[in-house]
Structure 1
């Protein structure tokens, strides 16, 4: 897989360097909302493909933030919502970076134009869903979970390479399964993937972020 990005080098306080990989152009048919009770993402075929490509890139980019500036994208017409949902950007990063999300607004404002680059990852960089041992996620000693943070109108999905790859196996279904799903299952309402932080479902994380990211495939997109 290959995807077009821009590479940014940003100096933080104390002279520390930070590398940000920005999706450029940003996916148009990919929208993310905080619906108060859960996080909702919508993707058509192209948007799902870009998400999977950038997720695979994040799995291999332990020293970079992968940034999808999608906050301005409108969600498809007619999707359910509770109250006034808040539009969000998306950043994927490794927990080993220990990036302080409170500093993101300043970092984002200093990105500049960046340098164009084409990033490549293997076509099948994720395991098959059937090869992921979901049972071990519930073992107390297992640490390769995702975590969610929200700051500066941005959802941060934080994890290890293993966490990104294992959850990427489910995301792959948005590309492989979703386009033909309603034809194969006429009674279904939609195809979706649901990701959560930690081994057990929670209504909210300890940082009061919704504990469920619901990603819905939306082939017909009206705004």
Structure 2
């Protein structure tokens, strides 16, 4: 269970857990040799719960699905100092081939969207014995999803401090840049510039489906 993972890999190091989801592995779960304590927790949450653990502003570990915070609206009339859009497809998988050598089975999961764009990046993964077809398919889909998480990023800089925090939502309506919709705040950097005063840069990513 997630509680057992935290007891072994977080709590002994003085980490206080503010939220713990009721997550249990469907089958035996092994922490890979050489993994850091954080990697052990993160991998379990991703693989068995479908979410990423994080820390609260108070420093508590939140091992549960992220809940949407408040929503900040940014439009053409707001004092946007800069806006940068990055789209990087390097490393985004077009196919994940999962192989169970023990049972001599394999399953291919393809990323048709990237294939249609002309991408070509294939990864072969070997699973432990006795893998079920459902588990193999999930492993392939999981690898493709992870490979594309950082493909699209927008950074918006505005005057002010602490306008939003990670987990909050930003509703963009910047038609001149072709940016509209609601996005998740992945990072919020607050700083003070001697010439411009307090500034905040919000790193935005698409909402997970």
Higher gyration radius (CA): 2
1 or 2, which has the higher helix percentage?
Answer: 1
Q: Which interval holds the TM-score relative to the shorter structure?
A: under 0.3
1 or 2, which has the higher strand percentage?
Answer: 2
Per the normalisation by structure 1, the TM-score is 0.22
Per the normalisation by structure 2, the TM-score is 0.23
Q: Which has the higher contact order (CA 8 A, sep 6+)?
A: 1
